[in-house]
Amino acid sequence: MAPDAISDDSAIILDAVDKFLERDVRPHVRALEHADEYPAEIADKVAELGLYGATISTEYGGLGLDARTYTRIVERVAAVWMSVSGLFNSHLIMAAAVERFGSEEMKREYLPKFASGEIRGGIALTEPDCGTDLQAVRTRARKDGNDYVIDGTKMWITNSIKGECLAVLVKTDADAEPRHKGMSLLLVPKSAGYKARKLQKLGYRGIDTGEVEFSNVRVPQSMLIGEAEGRGLQQILAGLELGRINVAARGVGVARAALEDSLRYAQQRKTFGKPISQHQAIQIKLADMATRVEAARLLVERAADAYDKGERCDLEAGMAKLFATEAALENATEAMRIHGAYGYSPEYDVERYYRDAPLLCIGEGTNELQRIIIAKQLCERSGS
What's residue 6's pLDDT? 66
What's residue 312's pLDDT? 86
- Name the pLDDT band for 5 (thresholds 50, 70, 90): low
pLDDT digits (tens, 9 = 90+) for 233-286: 999 888 888 889 999 999 999 999 999 999 999 999 999 999 999 999 999 999
Angle at 79 between CA 37 and CA 13, to 5 degrees: 100
Point out the catalytic residue in the list 37, 229, 364, 368: 364
pLDDT digits (tens, 9 = 90+) for 14-39: 999 999 999 999 999 999 999 999 99
Cβ contacts of residue 56 below 8 Å, gap of 6+? 62, 63, 64, 92, 95, 96, 99, 111, 114, 115
Cβ contacts of residue 280 below 8 Å, gap of 6+? none
In angstroms, the Cα distances linking 234 to 61, 101, 180, 231, 268 are 26, 10, 8, 6, 52
- Would you call 364 a catalytic residue per the annotation? yes
Q: Which domains does the chain have, with CATH numbers?
A: 8-116 (1.10.540.10), 121-230 (2.40.110.10), 234-382 (1.20.140.10)
Decide: 185 and 97 in contact? Cβ < 8 Å: yes
Beta-strand runs (E) in 255-324: 270-271, 274-275
What's residue 3's pLDDT? 42
Q: What type of residue is 59?
A: E
Q: Is 156 helix (H, G, I), strand (E, B) or coil?
A: strand
Distance CA 19, CA 28 (A): 14
Decide: 114 and 56 in contact? Cβ < 8 Å: yes
What's residue 135's pLDDT? 86
What's residue 4's pLDDT? 54
pLDDT surpasses 50 at 112:
yes
Beta-strand runs (E) in the chain: 121-124, 140-144, 147-158, 165-171, 183-189, 195-198, 209-220, 270-271, 274-275
pLDDT digits (tens, 9 = 90+) for 59-109: 999 999 999 999 999 999 999 999 999 999 999 999 999 999 999 999 999
Decide: 243 and 95 in contact? Cβ < 8 Å: no
